Amino acid sequence: MPAKSFFLFTTDIGNIISPTSSALGWRDYLDVMEIIKKRRSIRKYKQESIPNGIINQVLEAARLAPSGSNRQPWHFIVVKDLETKKKLGLHPWAAEAPVIIVGVIDPTEGRWYIIDGSIAFEHIVLAATNFGLGTCWMGRLLKNSGETDERIKRVLGIPKHMRVLAVTPLGFPAEEPKPKERKTLQEIVHYERF
Ligand SMILES: Cc1cc2nc3c(=O)[nH]c(=O)nc-3n(C[C@H](O)[C@H](O)[C@H](O)COP(=O)(O)O)c2cc1C
């Protein structure tokens, strides 16, 4: 497990590179960038179980996510039971991970529920990376009419009015995928106007 915590702020180093920020030193910036760069979608997992303390920290990262008007329209279901995992109808490689986290959003909790839920879910992904864990966003389930979505709701007893936002396996990676290509900054960044 990496020594540094996702939540650790090292203000003692000072504002060496970031003179506009009075609160954060350059190491804070570096830590988050390291995690962002290290993350990959993992589609092969070790059977090794994950300590509950780490799972709780990963969920804590989601709990602390920002949300429109602080409505926090999210729920997270942690599935470890083998039979339940099988019933969810996920790809076999996903169901083999020791833990499945299902992100659920409540459309009655404000207009930003999809964005809010997505931010919280990405917090899970990044916090997991910090602990050396792999994840893979599986988002095709967002379609409310989807058969998989309905099945997951039925198997997990999710209230009818709620929606499955995404599912991720959580486990120690059994593969090291190369980074996928990204568009360049020149292609996506526009200064002053598009
Ligand atoms: C909203 C969303 C939905 C995704 N859905 C799936 C999915 O259903 N199945 C899957 O294997 N990967 C899925 N992915 C993972 C992407 O394929 C992956 O993020 C992308 O190819 C870039 O690779 P990387 O995550 O390793 O950088 C999804 C990612 C996001 C953000």
| Model pTM score | 0.86
Q: What is the pLDDT of residue 146?
A: 60
Q: What is the pLDDT of residues 3-22, one digit of tens each?
A: 444 444 433 333 344 444 44
* Residue listed under structure tokens 């989601």: 62
Residue 137: CB within 6 Å of ligand 1? yes
| The architecture CATH gives domain 39-175 | 3-Layer(aba) Sandwich (3.40)
Supply the residue whose CA is at minimum distance from atom 25 of ligand 1.
41
Report the 10 Å Cβ neighbour count for 82.
11
Distance 94 CA to ligand 1 centre (A): 13
Decide whether any atom of ligand 1 lies within 6 Å of the 93 Cβ: no
| Mean pLDDT value across residues 164-169 | 96
Could you tell me the residue ranges of all domains in the chain?
Answer: 39-175
